Structure 1
Amino acid sequence: MFFVSDIMEKVPDSYKSPLQEMVYESLTKLQISFKRVTTDEAISMEDCTWINQKLDMKMVKTLLLCNSKKTKFYLFITTADKPFKSKDFSNALDISRVSFAPAELMESILGVKIGAATVFGVLIDKENLVQVVFDRDVLLEEWYGCSDGTTTGYMKVKTKLIVNNFLTYAKHIPTEIGI
């Protein structure tokens, strides 16, 4: 069985990565409340089913995409159940076809490994290389479920606080698409 801890509302006692520390410092500074759990390592959206049940929300799917030259980057946040279709994404933004960014670029640009992609990664992106793109369906949800920058820490936050408060603070104004 997949381990999910009891729900906590305080920052961790210690951090597993610089990004994770930045996440909780930012949320504290912005006075954004959250509920969080620690888990076994969660890599797939199937692993997130247990987390969703415990936190009573739906985990988002967060993808780092790039153009073929690897010069333009998009952090696409969509619902867990939607398959990603590059053609639809590219058409919605009127850009050339995109693909998944390589793991090493995800680590250098967002400070996370595969499975831990999160909106909070934009805290690392001081040069604004990444355009944040939300699937409209995510914005309809009251709660935003995501990684805290690790594959063993997950949280829920009010969606409107992520979009309006956190992303403004991180200087990444999101784009919204419906696909």
Structure 2
Amino acid sequence: MKKMVFVSEVFTSVPITYSTPLQEKVYQVLQTLEMTFQRVETDEVITMADCQQINERLTMDMVKTLFLCNRQKTNFYLFVTCGDKLFQAKAFSQALEIPRVSFAAPEQMSEILGTKIGAATIFSLLLKEAGNVQLVLDQAICDQDNYGCSDGTTTGYLKLATEDILQKFLPYVNQQPKIITI
């Protein structure tokens, strides 16, 4: 049976209150960069399966954002791919020509990205703690018109123009992503 997740009406304005410092920073930067967005508020959403009703409400497909690290936990990667793609560590590592990676620990996600499991977002690159995280984008994401992601929480989701992410946000955070096809 499909789990029903509450999804609010679509908003085009910032939230009245913020639940995390990262979430507040996200909306400040969206306004600064004049990036238009649509957003919804939801019950807590952790899995890609739970995102289906969000996708329907915002008429787009949510990206999958994974926080990965090497065995020594010294190199970190934020990998953004399509929500329906299975993650294959071997293919990812081969595409970047690096040793095998694994998922970073929840504590590292909190400390470096300012989020918890289910809320990983490209917007964590706003945080100085994420300064050494390598952004890796799946080419398929770059080819989409819309970019759907968390606002840094498990209860707020955004629809933005992919072009705005690539041409406004990434230069703002001084990030040159590696783009791979897997």
Q: TM-score, normalised by structure 2?
A: 0.96
Does the 8 A contact of 1:40 with 1:152 survive in 2?
A: yes
Moved over 4 A (4+): none
Instruction: State the distance in 2 between where 1:149 and 1:26 align.
Output: 13
Give the equivalent residue in structure 2 for 1:174: 177
Unaligned runs of 5+ in 2: none
User: How many percent of aligned residue pairs carry the same amino acid?
Assistant: 53
| Higher mean C-alpha deviation, range 113-122 or range 127-136 | 127-136
Amino acid at match of 1:146: C
Aligned length, in residue pairs: 179
Q: Deviations over 1:75-123 (max 9, x none)?
A: 0000011100000000000011100000000111110000000000111
Instruction: State the distance in 2 between where 1:33 and 1:126 align.
Output: 26
Give the equivalent residue in structure 2 for 1:12: 15
Q: How well do the aligned residues superpose, as a CA RMSD in angstroms?
A: 0.9
Give the equivalent residue in structure 2 for 1:46: 49
Change (3 A) 1:111 1:85: same
Kindly state the Cα deviation for residue 125 of structure 1 after the two structures are TM-superposed. 3.5
Of the candidates 153, 161, 165, which is equivalent to residue 164 of structure 2? 161
SS at match of 2:54: helix
Instruction: State the distance in 1 between where 2:29 and 2:177 align.
Output: 18
| Higher mean C-alpha deviation, range 43-52 or range 118-127 | 118-127
Kindly state the Cα deviation for residue 126 of structure 1 after the two structures are TM-superposed. 5.0
Does the 8 A contact of 1:163 with 1:174 survive in 2?
A: no
Amino acid at match of 2:68: L
Kindly state the Cα deviation for residue 2 of structure 1 after the two structures are TM-superposed. 1.3
Unaligned runs of 5+ in 1: none
Q: Deviations over 1:45-79 (max 9, x none)?
A: 01100000000000000000000011100000000
Instruction: State the distance in 1 between where 2:92 and 2:170 align.
Output: 21
Q: TM-score, normalised by structure 1?
A: 0.98
